[in-house]
Amino acid sequence: MKFFVDTANIDDIRDLASTGLLDGVTTNPSLVAKSGKQFIPLIEEICSVVSGPVSAEVAATDYETMMKEGRKLAKIAKNIAVKVPLTPAGLKVCKNLSDDGTIVNVTLCFSPAQAILAAKAGAAFISPFVGRLDDIAQDGMQLIADIVQIYENYPQWDTEVLVASVRHPMHIVDSAKMGAHVVTCPPDVIKKLYSHPLTDKGLTAFVEDWKKTGQSIL
């Protein structure tokens, strides 16, 4: 499973990239606004830090403007994934950009039917939002299971399932068990994967026992 971080905070991205665990980055207009930085220079900087796909989202909603924005974003770096909404216009943009060799991430997916359309339009990634479905008392993880099952039936589709709106570590674990290709999470959720009370307890015991020996490795 690939790990993408869902943030526009360049410091968090640099920190996670240094661990070797980071495979890509996803951003959106809300995250960029939160960063307080100019969009294009920020995306350029992120692409220089991360070698994997960096999702940069179009701001328009009509086909013509989305195409212009998508082409401009694709020129920023070779690892740009142009992010488009799962709308009729967005899927048309996806088809045309994909045909030109651009990586496209289709976002705001909330049903298996939508995921089928994205794959047929040539999306490199489909981003189903599990947390937002959980918020309205629907089973977000069932959506992931359904999409993975459908995609496995059609090996000619190259679309990867990119689990988005991840709220906690179990979303990641369950996604991995289902066979999702990618998860994108806020930095704090990725860092929670390290945590287990027995790890902390065991390390404390090892440190205390080592001190009693009076020895030093260095």
Percent of the residues in the chain that have a pLDDT greater than 90, as a whole number? 100
Please name the helix (run of DSSP H) or strand (run of DSSP E) that holds residue 198, with its range, or none.
helix 197-213
CATH assignment of 2-213, among 3.40.50.300, 3.20.20.70, 3.40.1280.10, 3.40.50.450 = 3.20.20.70
Residue in 34, 83, 92, 201 annotated catalytic: 83
What are the structural domain ranges in the chain? 2-213
pLDDT reported for residue 51: 95
pLDDT at 210: 96
Spatial contact of 57 and 28, defined as CB atoms under 8 Å apart: yes
The single-letter code of the amino acid at 51 is S
Q: What is the mean pLDDT of residues 116-138?
A: 98
Residue 209, SS3 per DSSP:
helix
- Please write the tens of the pLDDT for every residue from 79-116: 999 999 999 999 999 999 999 999 999 999 999 999 99
Average pLDDT over residues 160-170: 97
Q: What percent of the chain has pLDDT over 70?
A: 100
- Per-chain mean pLDDT for the chain: 97
Q: What is the per-residue pLDDT for 158?
A: 96
What is the model's pTM? Answer: 0.94
Q: Averaged over 187-192, what is the pLDDT?
A: 95
d(CA 153, CA 122): 16
Q: Tell me the Cα Rg of the chain.
A: 20
The pLDDT tens digits of the residues spanning 52-88 come to: 999 999 999 999 999 999 999 999 999 999 999 999 9
Residue 4: beta bridge partners?
Answer: 24, 184
* 34 has catalytic annotation: no
Q: What is the mean pLDDT of residues 167-182?
A: 98
Query: What pLDDT does residue 126 have?
Result: 98
